[in-house]
Structure formats: C-alpha cells, structure tokens
Amino acid sequence: RLVQFVVREGHFNVSMRLYKSPSYLEPYHLPSVAVPLTDTLYVLLKIEGQHQLKYFLLSVLDCWATPSADPHQDTQHKLIEQGCPHDKTVTYLNAIGEDTTAKFSFQMFQFVGYPEVFLHCRVQLCLPDSPEPCAKQCPRHWRNRRALADDYNRIVSYGPILLLAAPSSEAETHHSSTDQQDPAGPSPWLSRALIPLCVLAVLTVAAAAVSVGRRM
C-alpha cells in the first residue's frame, strides 16, 4: 500500500509491505494475506523512487493495528508509539530514522480473537539537516502525546491481514496418535509367519481325524 506526500519539495510516496522472514525476500500479497497467529510478521516501510532519496529520511512515529480499515477506530493495539516500541514483541531491524527505509517485526499471537486486522503506521519525512533528529531516542520518559498531522507526516495502512488460528492441542494429539499407527496395516513379516502355523494346524486336525476313523 502507498501513501502520497505533497510537500514543498515535490510529490513523494511511502509504501508498506509485509514479509514472511527477516530476509525480506518473500512478500505477502494482497488481497489474500493470511498469517498464522504463531508467526512473526516483518514490516518494510520505504520511500519509493530513487530520485526521491536525496531529499528525506524516513521516520516512524506510531504504528497500531485495528479490527477494521478505520485507523481511528477506538479498538486499537499499539505497536510503536512516538517512535519507540510499545508492544514488547516489536523489534527494530534497522536504524529507523537514519535511512529511507524502516524495518521492524512483531508477533501475531496478541491478536487472538480477531478474524482479521489492519496495520497502520504514521510515518514522517525528515530532512537530514533538520534541527530535530529524525531518529528517536528510546525509551522516552515524557508524557505521550499524539503526533500532530502536517504535510510531512501521514498514515499508511495495510490490510486486511487474515489471522489463521493455531491448531488445537486435541487435534495435534489425534494427529500424533494417527501418525504412530502403521498405515500399511499388519506387518508382512507377521503374515508370513502365520502361514506355516496355519498349515501345521490343518495337518494336525487331519491326522487326528484319520486316527479316530481307524479306531472306529
């Protein structure tokens, strides 16, 4: 997904993409993004276009998830707040605010109970020589306050992300017990061993019958 900035320096785009691993080689593709609750999600935010890179660095102010596409919905799960991780599973994977990309990951298990979620990030374009540093110092000790909207910070969203429930322990137990059974049935070695025993039993019965007949 893209968000466009229209500022004094020109028009700029920032994209958000989701990936399956920290190598960032296997992207998810909308509209069929389905992520198991046991997985870690890898996020890439990026200023698009080589001709745009000389102007700005990319900062991430806030990131959060909602059950609907509305980023202002009351029900939210905060991931990043004022440039610092808010969710304990969030991990920064590059020096955010010092590059034209921002990479971070978080775990999906905290979204149990929702069939799908939407991810939102408020990103900011920073001039490299700005008096206010683009990279945030964490942890931040002053009172949190919502970032004010201006031409240089916008919200980029991604979704829906469909959540796949983890298999239940009962299903896993049943699957495990099924796996332990031999799908081919009785062992062929056992079948071969039973053949001579059956023949011997038949011969014994026949001999006994002949012996009884002679006595009579």
Domain regions of the chain by residue span:
2-164
Measured in degrees and rounded to the nearest 5, phi and psi for residue 188 equal: -65, -25
pLDDT for 90-124, tens place per residue? 999 999 989 899 999 999 887 888 899 999 999 99
Segment 145-168 mean pLDDT: 76
* 133-139 mean pLDDT: 81
The Cβ of residue 115 has, within 10 Å, a number of other Cβ atoms equal to 11
Closest residue by Cα to residue 61 from 37, 49, 79: 79
Condensed to tens digits (0 to 9), the pLDDT of residues 57-83 reads 999 999 999 999 999 999 999 999 999
2-164: CATH topology is Immunoglobulin-like (2.60.40)
Would you state the pLDDT for residue 65? 95
